Structure 1
Amino acid sequence: MYTLCIGLLLHMFSCGSSTEDKAREDFDISLLGKNSELQLSGEYEALIQLNMKYLKKASQMDYKEGKGLCYLNIAGVNVSAGNYEKALFFFNKAEKDLENSENTYHKATFYNDYSQYYSHLKLYDKAVAFNNKAFFYLKKAKNSNLKKKLFARLYINKGIYFAWKGWMGTSLKSFLKGNKLENSAYSNCMVGQYYLFTHQPHLAGPYISEADKKMFSQKTSDVESLWVYYTMGYYYNEVDNNDEAEKALKKALEINIKTRRTYSSHINGVYKSLAELYKKKNDGGKAYYYLKKYMEEENRLDGARLATMNKATESFISEMKRESDWHKNNLPLLVALSITVLTVSGIYVQKMIGTLNVKKKTLKEETEELKSHVYTKRLQEVTELAKKNDSSFLMKFKEIYPDFINALLKINPDLENSELAFCAMLKLHFSSKEIADYTFVQHRSVQQKKYRIRKRLNISGEDDIYDFFDSLDR
């Protein structure tokens, strides 16, 4: 009987332990999966709400490592917002909860995120060092789908770090290894990006094509699909296939419209690529339009991310304050979070203003260049219409110089279209001989028309008629 009781107790303990392990594993899989999905979609507010919910759940389960994962996810959001000081605070919180964890997958996840944090700071040596630590712990973790996916992403991240360090051979090996493990639209796309980055579009082509196929044969998130289409547009731009570049970039725009609620940080790059594409195609109007869209998106993206972070963090703090036990046990955390709300604007905005000033100066120069390009092209078209004596000349001229025509009609509302067209040719600085040749009349007739126009517009005989028209719409 004694032996039987001991056996039953051991069995009950074993079952309880097994049940607890299963609950914690389910917690990890659910949290990490949902967090990754929201992070990819750019839904930062929903991401913080998710981690707030799981942080309470981990507390109820007495699951210290689960809380660490939540802090780690919140650190990632702060990195995305450029709030690196507060990101470091949450990394430290996560490290305390995960440092004694026997789950090596947790530690691998922590060091992977930490490596990405240093990559954002452009400290690539540290990024590589923590990437190596992530590899060390992940190799010890038990086999699972989470482990397999993280292995692939560790190699891809390593490829990115080494590319920025200039170690291109090691970078390529890492990208290829990650792609071999994952073989997804994203992983193929990243290999293609490597070859585009190293100016080898002929080698990028097969991977871009494979990424395109994988989008349809595998389940690919909208954001990663947008990234693939953007890369395809980048590739086709490089090989001067303007039509295919336009198709791919327009596909990326369609996805952005579809996911309007979440938007992707990649869309600004799509707008810029379209501006460059249309500039190359000598379509100044569209080039200018997409450059403006790029500028608007850059400003919106910075502002929206900052506003969302502030709102979401405030919500996080409010929710924690309603939990009395949390308030007692996590006072330092509440203080830190309060400081986050008060300082995130100042820290981030100050940094953002400096970046935006440089960016706006560059974009202003590009915009002025495009404006000049558009004006020159349209002026050439109108000039050609005048030379051909085309009936649409006056209408097109009005589009470029609407104030000029209005100013003429203000002086004399009775001017006829033929007279307006004649004035337009003078505005374009055609000589009397050129006007005579283009309109198939005698040189003497043009001189007579000039005389009549002077009378109709009250232009003094002492005034140069060309100077008069030049100053009319200023």
Structure 2
Amino acid sequence: MIAYTACIGLLLLISCQQNTQDKNIERFDISLAERNTELQLSGEYEALIRLNVDYLKQAAKMKYYAGKGLCYLNIADVNVSAGNYEKALFFFNKAEKRLANSKNNYHRALFYNDYSLYYSHLKLYDKAIEYNTKAFHYLKEAKESSLKNKLLPRLYVNKGIYFARKGWYGTSLKSFLKANELENSAYSNCMVAQYYLFVNEPNSAQMYIARAAEKMSAQKTSDVESLWVYYTMGYYYNEINSNDEAEAALKKALEINIKTRRTYSSHIEGVYKSLSELYKKKNDGGKAYFYLKKYMEEEGRLDAARLATMNKTTENFISEMEKESEWHKNDLPLLVALSITVFTISGIYVQKMIKMLRAKKVSLKQETEELKYNVYHKMLQEVTELAKKNDSSFLLKFKELYPDFINALLKINPDLENSELVFCAMLKLKFSSKEIADYTFVQHKSIQQKKYRIRKRLNISGEEDIYNFFEKLSV
């Protein structure tokens, strides 16, 4: 009887300890998820890293193996959002060892969801769909919890994105609508709106944008969620040619991005592209060119990061195979065959990416040159009009159009007066003597005398055409 009672007591003690451990683990997961999300969506990079380091230490004290994996996963996520794909892969590998085979199905679902996002950023949508499907599978098997309920709509959003990129619009729309039914947040409404904008149905997008804006005003949304709302609004207004509203919304998105870019810079190139298109429609070539250049720089950075990550992944795979070959000499023919396959597949992918990037570069270069041409001719027209009006701001605007011209003149003769610089600028614009006389309200004879003095002041020979001299002096 004593032994029986002792056994029962021991079992109860173990059961209590297990329940306590389970509760501690649940508290750990919820607290880490909430605090990490809050810091990432507000752009606080250093605080986010400190938080995960602290939780790594807690997990070690608790001997909570999967807890470490969650911390590594968080650090991988923030690197994906910032476009640091190589660093993200390093932390994904560390997280995978602790989460992919976890007995907690929520952990496995979370890992595969984040891994699918990583592959989506690399534009490998088939792999993204594969891991998204795994995430759905494990989340279905997970026990009910608040974390499970938060993750489910995000799985549907991501599924919608991947299928839209693949051109499977029916499945994509169903996924976005399901996510919005489950979450009904500013973000989920934005995603439905963006789907309709993506398929050129702005009228259908309007209702969801209004809902997103209403929720942003009524609720306390994160900085990143607000960024998404303003970007989607700008995207919509751009599509329906409401230029002023589009500009205000997109500028607001850029303003928020200054704060969040260290932890969440995803899709900011879309804001740059939208602004470039907007200013092109508004015939403001200077700003259109500026934002097109920003878009190209951001796209170039991300494309370079994607290629570097693909190459690094291939190298690591080959390296692992070489290590294996030391242990399995008999498998050498198989390893060689696999190596050839990996090199071939990665080679095809890299070539495809390079071809796509070259085509994009050619297209963007043409658009850039067109914008530069339009900017130049618009400025030339403005400067010419100021000269015709004999406006006092003519020389200042002329310097913006030809920044090196005045310096080149002063290099020849530093003592040139301001009125002489204005006269030279008008000759640079190929105004005839009669035109200059009319615009400056002087006699034609005075202009001829001015030309003679300028020749002497700039050492222009009598045989050289004065217009050719100024044409060659500075472009």
Query: Which interval holds the TM-score relative to the shorter structure?
Result: 0.7 to 0.9
Is 2:134 the partner of 1:133? yes
Q: How many residues align?
A: 427
Flag the 1:128–1:402 CA change in 2: closer, same or farther, 3 A.
Answer: closer
How far does residue 262 in structure 1 lie from its aligned partner after superposition? 4.9
**Which residue pairs with 1:81 in the alignment?**
84
How far does residue 270 in structure 1 lie from its aligned partner after superposition? 2.9
**Which residue pairs with 1:23 in the alignment?**
24
Q: Please tell me the residue identity of whatever aligns with 2:22.
A: D
Do the aligned partners of 2:44 and 2:263 also contact (CA within 8 Å) in 1? yes
Q: Cα deviation per residue 1:100-131 (whole Å; 9 max; x = unaligned)? A: x1x33223223323333443444433433332
Q: Secondary structure at the match of 2:120?
A: helix
How far does residue 444 in structure 1 lie from its aligned partner after superposition? 5.2
**Which residue pairs with 1:253 in the alignment?**
254
Comparing 166-175 and 375-384, the one that deviates more: 375-384
**Which residue pairs with 1:393 in the alignment?**
394
Do the aligned partners of 1:112 and 1:154 also contact (CA within 8 Å) in 2? yes
Do the aligned partners of 2:125 and 2:162 also contact (CA within 8 Å) in 1? yes
How far does residue 195 in structure 1 lie from its aligned partner after superposition? 1.2
How far does residue 227 in structure 1 lie from its aligned partner after superposition? 2.3
How far does residue 187 in structure 1 lie from its aligned partner after superposition? 0.8
**Aligned-residue CA RMSD (Å):** 3.8
Identity %: 72
How far does residue 161 in structure 1 lie from its aligned partner after superposition? 1.3
**Which residue pairs with 1:90 in the alignment?**
94
**Which residue pairs with 2:347 in the alignment?**
none
**Which residue pairs with 1:264 in the alignment?**
265
5+ residue gaps in structure 2? Answer: 307-349
Q: Cα deviation per residue 1:190-220 (whole Å; 9 max; x = unaligned)? A: 1111111111222222222221222232232
How far does residue 172 in structure 1 lie from its aligned partner after superposition? 0.4
Do the aligned partners of 1:64 and 1:97 also contact (CA within 8 Å) in 2? no
Q: Cα deviation per residue 1:256-298 (whole Å; 9 max; x = unaligned)? A: 3445765634444433433332233222333344445556667
Flag the 1:81–1:448 CA change in 2: closer, same or farther, 3 A.
Answer: closer
**Which residue pairs with 2:327 in the alignment?**
none
**Which residue pairs with 1:230 in the alignment?**
231
> Whole-Å Cα distance in 2 between the matches of residues 470 and 31 of structure 1?
67
**Which residue pairs with 1:468 in the alignment?**
469
> Whole-Å Cα distance in 2 between the matches of residues 115 and 263 of structure 1?
17
Flag the 1:209–1:50 CA change in 2: closer, same or farther, 3 A.
Answer: same
Do the aligned partners of 1:78 and 1:87 also contact (CA within 8 Å) in 2? no
Flag the 1:34–1:253 CA change in 2: closer, same or farther, 3 A.
Answer: same
Do the aligned partners of 2:59 and 2:67 also contact (CA within 8 Å) in 1? yes
Comparing 48-57 and 224-233, the one that deviates more: 48-57
Do the aligned partners of 1:179 and 1:187 also contact (CA within 8 Å) in 2? yes
Comparing 190-199 and 174-183, the one that deviates more: 190-199
Is 2:434 the partner of 1:430? no
> Whole-Å Cα distance in 2 between the matches of residues 263 and 78 of structure 1?
9
Map 1:198-213; keep pairs closer than 5 Å: 198-213=199-214
Flag the 1:155–1:117 CA change in 2: closer, same or farther, 3 A.
Answer: same
Do the aligned partners of 2:113 and 2:132 also contact (CA within 8 Å) in 1? yes
Q: Secondary structure at the match of 1:220?
A: coil
> Whole-Å Cα distance in 2 between the matches of residues 355 and 30 of structure 1?
46
* TM-score normalised to structure 1 length: 0.76
Comparing 248-257 and 152-161, the one that deviates more: 248-257
Map 1:16-415; keep pairs closer than 5 Å: 16-41=17-42, 47=48, 49-76=50-77, 79=80, 81-83=84-86, 86=90, 89-90=93-94, 92-95=96-99, 97-98=101-102, 101=103, 103-259=104-260, 262=263, 264-291=265-292, 293-294=294-295, 368-409=369-410, 411=412, 415=416
How far does residue 240 in structure 1 lie from its aligned partner after superposition? 1.4
Comparing 148-157 and 103-112, the one that deviates more: 103-112
5+ residue gaps in structure 1? Answer: 306-350
Flag the 1:414–1:33 CA change in 2: closer, same or farther, 3 A.
Answer: closer
* TM-score normalised to structure 2 length: 0.76
Comparing 144-153 and 419-428, the one that deviates more: 419-428
> Whole-Å Cα distance in 2 between the matches of residues 286 and 404 of structure 1?
24
How far does residue 176 in structure 1 lie from its aligned partner after superposition? 0.7
Q: Secondary structure at the match of 2:85?
A: coil
> Whole-Å Cα distance in 1 between the matches of residues 53 and 417 of structure 2?
73
> Whole-Å Cα distance in 2 between the matches of residues 259 and 110 of structure 1?
23
